Chain A
């Protein structure tokens, strides 16, 4: 398996006031790569929504974010320490029609990112999203716009 081109991870308190900081850090990081502004804004929104979801349903005072940039895609993962009673973002819920805020959030994540995965490995759960560069959320090359 090849190592990522670049990557970073950070942990921040799960309080809502830190969601803006998370967006700021991510935006600054992505600007160092050949990523269009439209793609950066899409990723910031999807990550903000995921952060909000994890902060609402996760357990613990901190949230970790792992970000790695490969040649043609970006992957962002949130390891989740979830309450047994909390819902899981399953594939079926990702296709739900918007109604409540949470559904709108999942709809946005699903629309703006190219791949959304809920993974369970070695007893640990994580929520991860992939964005392939050079494609806008409507499937048209962003750089041609």
Chain B
């Protein structure tokens, strides 16, 4: 049973962008209920040894503090292995949340996957 069948409005698709960089495309709303599913998807990548991640929030309509907490936790984990995370986001509402919380200074925020990949290589 996938997340949507379980009543969770969230989906995390992952694939390799290059031998060193993996992409996680998140779709849906990230809140206190759905963030464990996002955490699970991202942890799976890290456990496979992918320490440079591009996380696409292009299809994310909503993110709250628990979702931001998951992203911060994942950043801490990849940094232990000298990795990093680039966020792809063009939604002004989501970008505003990164600005308010100051996370725009911690994560690289990029317009598209290509720009993120270029900066992570």
In the complex, per-residue mask of B50-79: 1 if CB is within 8 Å of any chain A CB, else 0: 000000000000101110110000000000
Please name all residues of chain B whose beta carbon is closer than 8 Å to the beta carbon of A55 when the two chains form the complex.
32
Does B7 count as interface, using CB distance less than 8 angstroms? yes
Total A-B residue contacts, Cβ distance less than 8 Å: 56
In the complex, per-residue mask of A81-116: 1 if CB is within 8 Å of any chain B CB, else 0: 000000000000000001011101101100110000
Does B31 count as interface, using CB distance less than 8 angstroms? yes
Main secondary structure of the interface of A (DSSP, over half): helix
How far does the alpha carbon of A98 sit from the alpha carbon of B101 in the complex, in Å?
Answer: 7
Do the beta carbons of A17 and B62 come within 8 Å of each other?
no
Please name all residues of chain B whose beta carbon is closer than 8 Å to the beta carbon of A100 when the two chains form the complex.
69
How far does the alpha carbon of A127 sit from the alpha carbon of B96 in the complex, in Å?
Answer: 24
Please name all residues of chain A whose beta carbon is closer than 8 Å to the beta carbon of B65 when the two chains form the complex.
49, 52, 101-102, 104-105, 108
Task: Report the nearest A residue to B67, measured CB to CB.
Answer: A101
Q: Which of A19, A98, A137 contacts B96 (CB 8 A)?
A: A137
Please name all residues of chain A whose beta carbon is closer than 8 Å to the beta carbon of B66 when the two chains form the complex.
52, 101, 105
Do the beta carbons of B97 and A45 come within 8 Å of each other?
yes
Q: B7, B93, B100 — which one has the most chain A CB atoms within 10 A of its CB?
A: B100
Please name all residues of chain A whose beta carbon is closer than 8 Å to the beta carbon of B93 when the two chains form the complex.
38, 41
Does A16 count as interface, using CB distance less than 8 angstroms? yes
Do the beta carbons of B64 and A52 come within 8 Å of each other?
yes
Please name all residues of chain B whose beta carbon is closer than 8 Å to the beta carbon of A17 when the two chains form the complex.
7, 33
Closest 9 CB pairs of A and B: A101-B69, A105-B65, A104-B65, A16-B33, A16-B32, A111-B100, A52-B32, A101-B65, A41-B93
